[in-house]
């Protein structure tokens, strides 16, 4: 069964859980340890962010600058050190754990390949923050991961390029603010199989429209239990959280069951009604 349909089927047993930047409430975000802990907890997705280095390698980091989550400022003697200014070797010599706590000193910025391995057996949810569409498609193809990951971005024209380069990859459109008719109408051009929206601005009506369109729906970033239960009540297929273990515990207890109406409304992409 294709990945998108496997995810749709799994969500029938309860809203799925994505570890945001790994288990980032308790571990330095986007490090191999954070990703591994989220996967080991049983998260169905492990989310992380990717950029391309000066020499074209793919690395896992949220910000375009290395300042916040590594010791780049001390090591380079200046601020705003960009990922695109350094080589892979230079980036991997940085400490990506000490900023979070001394127990994590020595953690490295993972490569995409290292992050994919750390996220196993969860489905890696790769968020492109920077870098070229064709290059990411080629990297995932080389790693044999095209049909085992989902790739998402806030940059919808970039998604369109990526979808053209690798149509077999499940793609997700990220967004925030009002999810209006215009944005819903733009979705098919991205090739998206799912929509991933800021939970603070998703309305009941917009969630229903997404479900009627046959897309999977997720919300980010929800750390409060009340928010997780609310997302499930809206029929969300997944929730992205810095606290995957807490969300998974709720799921086990049945709190993340989705309403029957959401399951009945959602249709696989390509079926009648779209």
Would you tell me which residues interact with ligand G3P (CB under 6 A)? 20, 47, 49, 62, 127, 174, 196, 220-221, 240
- Provide, rounded to whole angstroms, the least separation between the CB of residue 218 and Ca ion: 12
Shortest reach from residue 15's CB to ligand G3P, in Å: 15
- Per-residue x/- track, 37-66, Ca ion (CB under 5 A): ------------x-----------------
| Nearest position to Ca ion, beta carbon | 127
Which contacts (CB < 8 Å, 24+ apart) does range 70-73 have? 70/94, 70/95, 70/96, 70/99, 70/109, 71/95, 71/98, 71/99
196 interacts with, out of Ca ion, ligand G3P, none, CB within 5 to 8 A per kind = ligand G3P
- Choose between 20 and 108: whose C-beta lies nearer to ligand G3P: 20
b/e map 237-260, b = 16+ CB within 10 Å = bbbbbbbbbbbbbbbeeebbbbee
Torsion sign, CA atoms 198, 163, 210, 4? negative
Q: How far is the CB of 152 from ligand G3P (least distance, A)?
A: 6
51 binds, among ligand G3P, Ca ion, none (CB under 5 to 8 A by kind): none
Q: Considering beta carbons, is residue 62 or 75 the nearer one to ligand G3P?
A: 62
- For residue 220, the partner it binds in Ca ion, ligand G3P, none, with Cβ less than 5 to 8 A by kind, is ligand G3P
Asked if 127 interacts with Ca ion (CB under 5 A), we say yes
Among 1, 3, 7, 63, residue whose Cα is nearest residue 218: 7
Q: Which of 140, 142, 138 is nearest to 126 (CA)?
A: 140
CA dihedral 59, 92, 34, 160 (to 10 degrees): 0
Footprint of Ca ion (CB under 5 A): 49, 127
């Amino acid at each position: 069964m294709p990945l998108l349909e496997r995810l749709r089927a799994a969500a029938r047993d309860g809203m799925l859980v994505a570890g945001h930047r790994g288990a980032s409430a308790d571990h330095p975000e986007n490090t191999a340890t954070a990703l591994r802990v989220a996967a080991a907890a049983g998260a169905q997705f492990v989310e992380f962010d990717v950029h391309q280095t000066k020499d074209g390698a793919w690395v896992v980091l949220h910000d375009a600058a290395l300042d916040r989550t590594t010791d780049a400022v001390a090591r380079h003697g200046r601020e705003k050190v960009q990922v695109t200014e350094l080589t892979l070797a230079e980036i991997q010599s940085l400490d990506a754990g000490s900023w979070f706590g001394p127990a994590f000193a020595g953690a490295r910025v993972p490569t995409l390949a290292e992050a994919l391995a750390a996220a196993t057996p969860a489905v890696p949810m790769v968020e492109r923050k920077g870098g070229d569409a064709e290059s990411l498609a080629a990297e995932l193809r080389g790693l044999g991961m095209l049909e085992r990951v989902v790739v998402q971005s806030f940059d919808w024209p970039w998604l369109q390029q990526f979808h053209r380069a690798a149509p077999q990859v499940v793609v997700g459109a990220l967004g925030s603010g009002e999810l209006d008719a215009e944005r819903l109408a733009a979705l098919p051009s991205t090739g998206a199989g799912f929509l991933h929206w800021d939970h603070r601005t998703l309305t009941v009506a917009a969630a229903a429209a997404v479900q009627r369109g046959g897309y999977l729906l997720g919300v980010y970033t929800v750390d409060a239990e009340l928010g997780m239960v609310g997302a499930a009540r809206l029929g969300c297929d997944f929730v992205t959280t810095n606290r995957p273990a807490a969300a998974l515990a709720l799921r086990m207890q049945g709190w993340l069951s989705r309403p029957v109406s959401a399951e009945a409304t959602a249709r696989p992409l390509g079926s009648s009604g779209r």
